[in-house]
Amino acid sequence: MRTLEGRVAVVTGGAGGLGRAMGERFAGAGMKVVLADVQAEPLARTVAECREAGMDIIGVPTDVTNYASVEALRDATLSAFGAVHVVCNNAGIGAGAEGRMWEHELNDWKWAIGVNMMGVVHGINAFVPVMLEQDDEGHIVNTSSGNGGVSPLPSTPQYAATKAAVVTITECLYGQLQEVGSKLGASVLFPGPHILRTGLFESWRSRTDEFAKERPRKTPYTTVEGLEAQMKAAGVNIAYTPVEEVAELVVAGLLANEFWMHPRSERGDNQLLARTDSILNRTNPAYLRAVPG
């Protein structure tokens, strides 16, 4: 996009974490912003704080697993701001399943597929037709993850599989937008290079009744502290990327029309190379990691 000023952005998963950071960065660039989230109260608090700080931001409670809810988000955006130029399909969850994957509940899968994958599909179906009709510049940014998007962590099959799907969906979207000669761009975002200290590790907070756990947990959910202990035990350096840094990467990527919003890091590039090398050389996966980082 040539400019963001005066344009309208929609960010799902905008109550906190990376979604909020993108919304604030967009508002700082002179955009009108719609933050959407399934957690209505944190969303209302975030929107109130942003508006207090003078940002042109509204909030629309939205469940991205529900297509009618995403259509209502689109309609609310159009009625508030009259157009939509940037859509960040960013809402995401870590399923927090326990045990081995053959013990995981089917609802762990359905929930992750509903939010991480169908949330992106719903965003595309609801917004792209109106964006094409506008016949103006625009961009769709879909949030993937190095976990799945680059190579999977076997401990998180639902997350890794759905984040891999986000990459493929976005590549197909890019290809089709090119084929129809549209003015819209598409990008896949890999937040990082390190993990972000956000609500993602407490995703159980946003688990809706539709995808409720089928049986009580036997073990406590992993916390950020628990994850840090696992990383330490595996000898992995614990480092965090500030969400503001990722939001900056997104703005730069939008202005430069970059498909891969993928921060450069030797570690990330090596993970990608190791997996690609295994596929090319038909060797069994020796690149699989036990913990992030």
Ligand X SMILES: NC(=O)c1ccc[n+]([C@@H]2O[C@H](COP(=O)([O-])OP(=O)(O)OC[C@H]3O[C@@H](n4cnc5c(N)ncnc54)[C@H](O)[C@@H]3O)[C@@H](O)[C@H]2O)c1
Candidates 58-66, 95-103, 128-136, 217-225: pick the segment binding ligand X (CB under 6 A): 58-66
Q: Which residue is associated with the tokens 């590549």?
A: 171
CB of 15 to ligand X, least distance (A): 4
How many distinct helices (H) and strands (E) make up the chain? 10, 7
d(CA 199, CA 42): 11
Nearer to ligand X, 137 or 195 (CB): 195
What is the C-alpha end-to-end distance of the chain, expressed in Å?
A: 32
How many other CB atoms are found less than 10 A from the CB of residue 259? Answer: 13
Site for ligand X in 204-243 (CB under 6 A): 206
User: Is residue 142 involved in binding ligand X (CB under 6 A)?
Assistant: no
Using CB under 6 A, pick the residue from 27, 35, 38, 117 that binds ligand X: 38
Residue closer to ligand X, measured from CB, 49 or 277 = 49
> By CB under 6 A, how many residues form the interface with ligand X?
29
Member of 59, 185, 191, 293 binding ligand X (CB under 6 A): 191
Work out the number of other CB atoms within 10 angstroms of the CB of residue 106. 9
Q: Cis (ω within 30 of 0) for the bond into 216?
A: no
Query: Is 151 an interacting residue with respect to ligand X (CB under 6 A)?
Result: no
Neighbours of 245 (CB within 10 A): 16
Selected from 28, 39, 110, 213, the binder of ligand X by CB under 6 A is 39
Among 86, 27, 84, 22, which residue's Cα sits nearest to residue 51? Answer: 27
Query: How many other C-beta atoms are found inside a 10 Å radius of the C-beta of residue 18?
Result: 26
User: How do beta strands 86-89 and 260-261 pair?
Assistant: unpaired
* DSSP string covering 128-148: HHHHHHHTS-EEEEEE--HHH
Please select the residue that binds ligand X; options are 27, 34, 37, 96, rule is CB under 6 A: 37
Q: Check residue 200 for interaction with ligand X (CB under 6 A).
A: yes
62 to 121, contacts with ligand X by CB under 6 A?
62-65, 90-93, 115
Q: Is 187 in the site for ligand X (CB under 6 A)?
A: no
The answer to whether the CB of 145 falls within 8 A of the CB of 163 is: yes
Q: Which of 159, 174, 221, 287 is catalytic?
A: 159
> Of residues 60, 141, 198, 228, which one binds ligand X by CB under 6 A?
198
Q: Which one of residues 77, 107, 143, 155 is an interface residue with ligand X (CB under 6 A)?
A: 143
For residue 181, give the 3-state DSSP assignment: coil
Judged by CB under 6 A, which of 123, 148, 157, 199 binds ligand X? Answer: 199
Q: Is 240 a catalytic residue?
A: no
Q: Which residues are catalytic?
A: 159
Please report, as ranges, the residues that interact with ligand X according to CB under 6 A.
12-13, 15-19, 37-39, 62-65, 90-93, 115, 143, 145, 191, 195-196, 198-200, 203, 206
